[in-house]
Structure 1
Amino acid sequence: MAPESSATPMTLTAVVASTRPGRVGRSVTDWFIARAAECDDFVSHTVDLRELALPFLDEPHPPALQRYTKSHTRAWSRIVDASDAFVFVTPEYNGSFPAPLKNAWDYLVVEWRHKPAAFVSYGGVSAGTRAVQTGKQVVANLGMLPIGPTVSVPFVGELVEDGAFRPGKVQEAAAEQVLDELARTARVMRLLRDGTY
C-alpha cells in the first residue's frame, strides 16, 4: 500500500511570467490549467505575476535566511511553500525569460527546494525555447528539478482567437506528457521533502 502522502492530490502552481499589456501568457496558462484540472493527481491554481505585483527585490536579508520583512514576501513564500510542483508559462525576451520571473524566483530559496518545475513557452519561430533553457539553469540552482518534457508554442498569435488560446494537437500531446512527468516526479519529491523516501 502506498503511503497516504503519495495518494493525496498535490498542489500544482502555474506562474504567468509576462506582465506586459497585450500579453497572451494568461490565455496560454488558462488552457494549461484547464488541462491540469482533468488530472486527478493535482489541485491546480494560477499565480499571475502582474497581479502578484512583487516589487523589485526589496528584502534586506539574503532569502536563504527566510528573515522576511515585507508582507508581499511572506505571502509569496506561503504560496510557493504550499506548492508541490510548478509550471512556468513564459515568453522569450531577447533570448531569455522576462525580468519579473527572475525577480519572483530570487525572492525565495528554501521554499523552491526539491520541487519539480516544468515550462510552457511561446513566441514566434523559436517558440520561447531559449527562455526555457536559461530558466532551467536558474531553477536548478534553486534546488528544483526541471523536468524534460516541455510545451512549446511557435507563432502563438496564430493560435489565439477572441482572447482564448486554441492549441494544436502538438501542444495538447505535449501538455499530457508534461503533466504525467510532473505527477511522477512531484510524488517522489514530496516523499523526499517529508523524509519518507
Structure 2
Amino acid sequence: MSNFSCLIFDDHPLVCVAIKSLVESLGVVNAVHTATSSKSALETIKSENVGLIILDINLQDCDGYDFYRRIISHGYEGKVIFFSGESSHLYSQMAFRLGADGYVCKSENYSILKDAIEAVAKGYSFFKFKHTTTDSKPLAELSSRESAVMKHLLQGKTNREIANVLNISDKTVSTYKRRVLDKYNVNNIMELARVTTT
C-alpha cells in the first residue's frame, strides 16, 4: 500500500461512492477522499497527502481540464486519471497532452478503470488510444469554452441551442465555432467530426 491518498472528484455523489469502493478494494492507497465541488476538492488536496486524483471533465462548477491546470500550477505533483463520459479520443488526447496519467471513459466496464488505477499507481500511464508526438493531425490547443462549443457542435446542436446551453449569445458561439474550425484547419462540422474521431 502506498503512503498517499486518493481523491475522487465528480459532481455525482453516486459515482464518487462507486469509485471509492473500487479504489479501496485495490489497496493501492492508504485513504480515499471524495469531493463534489472544486472548493472541497482543493481543500482536500491542501490538507491531505493526495497522490492520485480521479476526476471528471464536465463538472458542475468547473472544467476538469482547467482544474487540472490549476492544481499543477499550484504545485501538485501526484497522478491524475480523467474518468469522463466523453468517448471521443479527442478528450483522451487533450488529457494526454496536458500531462495526465490516464483517461477512462465512463461507458467502459469498471474493470478498465481498475486496470487504469493499478497501472498509474505503479508509475505507468493508461490511455485507450495510442498517442505519439508525430501524429499527422496534432491536437489543436483549445480553450475550455472552445472545447465546450465544439462538443455541442459535434452533437449536432445549432448555434442557438449552444447559446442557450452555455448562456452566451449566438454571435459569441459563431466566433468560437470559427476559431475551432480554424484551429483544426477545416471548413465545416463534417470535416471537424472526421478529424476528431479518426
Q: Is the radius of gyration larger for structure 1 or structure 2?
A: 2
Calculate the TM-score normalised by the size of structure 1: 0.49
Calculate the TM-score normalised by the size of structure 2: 0.48
Structure ranking higher on relative contact order (CA contacts 8 Å, 6+ apart): 1
Q: As a proportion of its length, which structure holds more strand? A: 1
Q: As a proportion of its length, which structure holds more helix? A: 2
